Structure 1
Amino acid sequence: STTAPTPLPTLPPGAQIELLGPPPDTTWVGNQPVTFYWQWPYPLANNQQFVVVIQTNGEEQRLGAVDQPNLGTGYRLQAVLPTNGELVWEVRLETKAALAPLISSERRILTIISPP
């Protein structure tokens, strides 16, 4: 017998992750935690999570995952960033099992500077 592939959950048409912060082109001191904020107006399925991803020099790193809202439809993740220099960050909605993005936010640039 063959097993049918598990269908991906469908997203509402026009659904998008709205980034709230940090704003585009922010500069941050390297040893201070950065709080990433975003909104998603729909309830998450049990197997879904948001992941904050950073890219530096073409390498991707997952900062962490969130599967519960912070307040209402708002989500947040706090992390100390592991590098100095310019990086690109985005938020992805994915299934926990597949780790495949269902949808990604816009990408924003964040510049990390060394502590004084």
Structure 2
Amino acid sequence: MKPFTLIFCCAALAAPAIAQDAEVGTAGPVNTRDDTYLMSADDIDVLSGTGEKIGEIEEILVDANGVPAGFLIEFQGFNLFEDDDVAVPIEALEYDGRAYVSKMTQEQLAALRPWDE
């Protein structure tokens, strides 16, 4: 086989693969979710176990891999805090469909150090 023919055959075989990669790269991700699926957690109420409002979600904290790991909560009107921001683990709160409910006791919350950004 002549060198020119070999190069032409290799290029002809590779062309469909190159074209396919180009098509995949330009398509981008497809959003299949309904817009009602998305919700912001900023300023959602945080309630005590008895249903009393103790603060609001300020931010969702993520670990080094980008996985949600905790919440930054601003406590308001809670006699153990004076508008302090504290970080709590993701497992410390449970969403009930309208607000987050703390699984931590008042003593546990009071023991948390204020979050300093």
Question: TM-score, normalised to structure 2's length?
Answer: 0.29
Bigger strand share:
1
| TM-score of the superposed pair, with normalisation by structure 1 | 0.29
Which structure has the bigger radius of gyration? 2
Task: Give the number of the structure whose residues are more often helix, by fraction.
Answer: 2
Q: Which structure carries more relative contact order (alpha carbon 8 Å, separation 6+)?
A: 1
